Amino acid sequence: MKIWHRKQRYAIRRHPNLNRLYRVGVAVVGTLLILAGIALMPVPIPGPAWGALFLGLGALSTEFEWAHRLTSFVIRAIRRSAAISSAAWKRFDAWAHRHVERLTGARLVQTWLDHQHYLQNAYAFA
């Protein structure tokens, strides 16, 4: 599929008017998708809005260098934020486990001491 598309695109590029028409078509479709994404922003669920916005940007990036640079920047920013949030989550998870283990360990020792005191009573098994 990709090879077929490349061959078709190279054939279109050889004809200046056809190339211009193709680029205008891509610009219209990409812009409409971006506008649809912006229009869907007030919708309470975030999926369709961001999906349409990024699809439009992806469509534009196939033909326009500025859109490709913007798409690359967004992808790098998303990967960087994912790495930062993953590292923060790992730090929080480690802290929470240490904290819970410290609390439960102290409770376990206290429970054991209470039972030891109870079992030393002469009437414990009566």
pTM of the model: 0.62
Report the 3 state secondary structure along the chain.
Answer: CHHHHHHHHHHHHCCHHHHHHHHHHHHHHHHHHHHHHHHCCCCCCCHHHHHHHHHHHHHHHCCCHHHHHHHHHHHHHHHHHHHHHHHHHHHHHHHHHHHHHHHHHHHHHHHHHHHHHHHCCCCCCC
**Each residue of 2-25: pLDDT tens digit?**
677 778 888 888 999 999 999 999
**Each residue of 70-88: pLDDT tens digit?**
999 999 999 999 999 999 9
pLDDT band at 91 (very low <50, low <70, confident <90, very high): very high
| pLDDT on residue 119 | 65
